[in-house]
Structure 1
Amino acid sequence: MTAISPPRPAAPLSHLAGVALVCVSAVVFSTAGIFTKAVDANAWSVIFWRGAGAAILSMGFLMMRGGFRDEVSRFGGVALLAAVVAASGTAAFIPAFKLTTVTNVVLIWATAPFVAAALAWLLIGERPGLKIMLTSLLALAGVGLTLRGSVGSGQLAGDLLALWMTLMMAAFYVIYRIWPGTPTVLPNVLASVILLVPGWILGGPMDTDGTEIGILLGFGLVFAVASITLTEGARRIPAAQTALLGALETPLAPLWAWLLLSELPTAWAVAGGMLVMVAVILSQTTFRRHKKEGVSHGH
């Protein structure tokens, strides 16, 4: 593989915009378990209808923005790779919610800072700063507390799918960090389209209740918004920070599951979620201080 030079640090305003966009995506993504578990449709039917809604709405966004030709002109091998990686992650993401708890999925997902940091360090030499590593360890401690309350649950298959989803999305972050000029919307549209065929064959989506189809198309809208804000934000900030900000989903998703699905998190999960929130807040305080001192973000 040809050596790739590390990307230049983002400009202050671009960095702040990246932080805001990734935070929005985390909040929106935190509702995914609610959409998935609120319907009786099987996982592949959920993937089909969510993907159809996301593809249509994403294309509508792109056309309204007037960026279709530009994204097509920049669509190449890297964009195709991003689409395949995103599709692989989604194919694991939805079944994981069906096979294990919302809390388990989001807590395994919270290990993404370590996966993304390792990949970015290996591929482009983007070494996370000491404070980012320490706050990531704090987030990991929160994950450990929550998983402590889930030992012996017998939900290994769902947990392993969540682990694969985490690996794929960490790779997705790093792709956009290495090649920030990669189009953001078309790869997400293609990822949804790729999954329509297995969704049709394995899920039998036409047998889905009409009301549930509406819910799942709404899920597609949510997914499209979250995907667009995530990819736009990920290109502006270091991969490890993107993944760490994504940990905002960790305390929010179990909260929605408790309020809307009566899926009560354990005391261990509550304690773990609080640690993750503290880690996120501390990491952002750190970056604001770096901005004032003129130190490069994330280095």
Structure 2
Amino acid sequence: MTALTSPSSAAGAHRFGVLFVFAAGVLWSTVGLGIRMIEDAVVWQILLYRSISMTLFLYVVIRLRSGESPFAQIRRMGVASVIAGLSLVAAFSGGIYSIQHTSVANAMLLFATAPFMAAVLGWIVLREPVRIATWIAIAIAIGGIAIMVADKSGSVALNGSLAALGSAFGFAVFTVSLRWGRTGEMLPSVFLSGLFAIVVTLAVCKFSGLPIAIGAQDGAISMGMGVFQVGAGLILYTLGSRSLPAAELALLSLAEVLLGPFWVWLFLGETASLNTLLGGAVLLVAIAGNALSGKRRKPPPITAP
């Protein structure tokens, strides 16, 4: 049976989608503050405990919402859920590796190519049109990030740059996978990504000789990040993805880049440079302009796998 959707309800769904995805970016932006509060744990240990708490949190949320195990939903949804989960792990691990092997400025700039990748993938895989206003907003956003990193310097390693591009591609694939599987419940794919991440981080800790046990404070902060910074953020992002094109999803999530420096300045007194403030302002204009520009056209129907 075909359901008819009125223009007003479609517009309302779009507004809620923008709100949810922007809120997800706000939650993601707290990662810098959380890591600044960590005393001794290294990145892979933080990611391990963050993934454990995120997976447990999502398991409870999925059980409460659907009344069934997420594993049953994963089996029913099939390949789209697995692709989304694996691509998100690639985004996490590639991002960590890139920051360890190249300058933060270079890594952040390459992360910002995700909207371009998502737009191209959405067009190829989903036949989803990209508005001219969105393309302009993406260009403005990239220009803003370029301003933010223009006064920073550091060595640029090829492997780190490739990992940053791989991270951006992983997040773009995750974005498009959510759109591809929107007729089903995609939250289990995020739960699945947590399981994949636990396996990956355990393997890294094992082969690199890192201890699994960490301090109580570091563990509490890491697990808190898994619930609030990652888990809740990804739930909001997943819900918002149902009513937004892939290019808008990736662009709105760039709020993370704008707000990240703000939180550490507000709570820890870590100041931002003039370039960061100017670039952040340009980025905010791009996000707001894209969200408010024109009338949104309903995307074409997508056939579930």
TM bin (shorter chain): 0.7 to 0.9
- Which residue identity does 2:31 align to in structure 1? A
Task: Return closer, same or farther for 1:102/1:50 CA change in 2, 3 Å cut-off.
Answer: farther
Candidates 220, 226, 245, aligned match of 1:214: 220
Alpha-carbon distance between aligned partners in 1 of 2:271 and 2:182, rounded to the nearest angstrom: 40
Q: Secondary structure at the match of 1:154?
A: coil
1:199-210 aligned at under 5 Å gives the runs 199-203=201-205, 204-210=210-216
| Matching residue of 2:24 | 25
Residue 167 of structure 2: aligned partner: 165
Q: Which amino acid aligns with 2:245?
A: P
* Alignment of 1:139 onto 2:141: yes
Alpha carbons of 1:106 and 1:38: their partners in 2 closer, same or farther (altered >3 Å)? farther
Work out which of the residue numbers 119, 124, 127 in structure 2 matches 1:125: 127
User: CA 1:275 to 1:139, structure 2 compared with 1: closer, same or farther past 3 Å?
Assistant: same
% identical equivalent positions: 25
Residue 57 of structure 2 corresponds to 57
Q: CA 1:240–1:278 in 2, change beyond 3 Å: closer, same or farther?
A: same
1:290 counterpart letter in structure 2: K
2:11 is aligned with 1:12: yes
The CA distance in 2 between the partners of 1:101 and 1:76, in whole Å, is 38
* CA–CA separation in structure 1 for the residues paired with 2:167 and 2:83: 15
Task: Name the residue aligned to 1:178.
Answer: 180
Residue equivalent to 1:188: 190
One-letter identity of the residue aligned with 1:52: I
Deviation at 1:198, TM superposition (A): 3.1
Verify the 8 A CA contact 1:110 1:246 in the aligned structure 2: no
Shift of 1:274: 0.7
Confirm whether residue 228 of structure 1 aligns to residue 235 of structure 2.
yes
Q: Deviations over 1:163-207 (max 9, x none)?
A: 322221111111122221243221111111112233223334533
SS at match of 1:126: coil
Kindly indicate whether the alpha-carbon contact (under 8 Å) linking 1:117 and 1:239 is maintained by their aligned counterparts in 2. yes
Greater displacement, 86-95 / 207-216 = 86-95
Match of 1:266 in 2: 273
Return the offset for 1:99.
Answer: 6.1
Greater shift, 228-237 or 88-97, is seen at 88-97
Deviates more, 1:250-259 or 1:107-116: 107-116
Q: Tell me if the contact between 2:59 and 2:191 (Cα under 8 Å) persists in the aligned partners.
A: yes
Structure 2 residue 289 is the aligned partner of structure 1 residue 290: no
Structure 1 residues 95 and 53: CA distance shift in structure 2, 3 A: farther
In the alignment of these two chains, the number of paired residues is 284
Q: Pick closer, same or farther for the CA change 1:253–1:37 going to 2, 3 Å.
A: same
Using the alignment, how far apart are the partners of 1:130 and 1:83 within structure 2? 30
Stretches of structure 2 that go unaligned for 5 or more consecutive residues are 1-6, 301-305
2:295 is paired with a residue whose SS is: helix
Contact map agreement 2:103 2:154 (CA 8 A) in 1: no
Q: Which runs of 5+ in 1 are unaligned?
A: 1-8
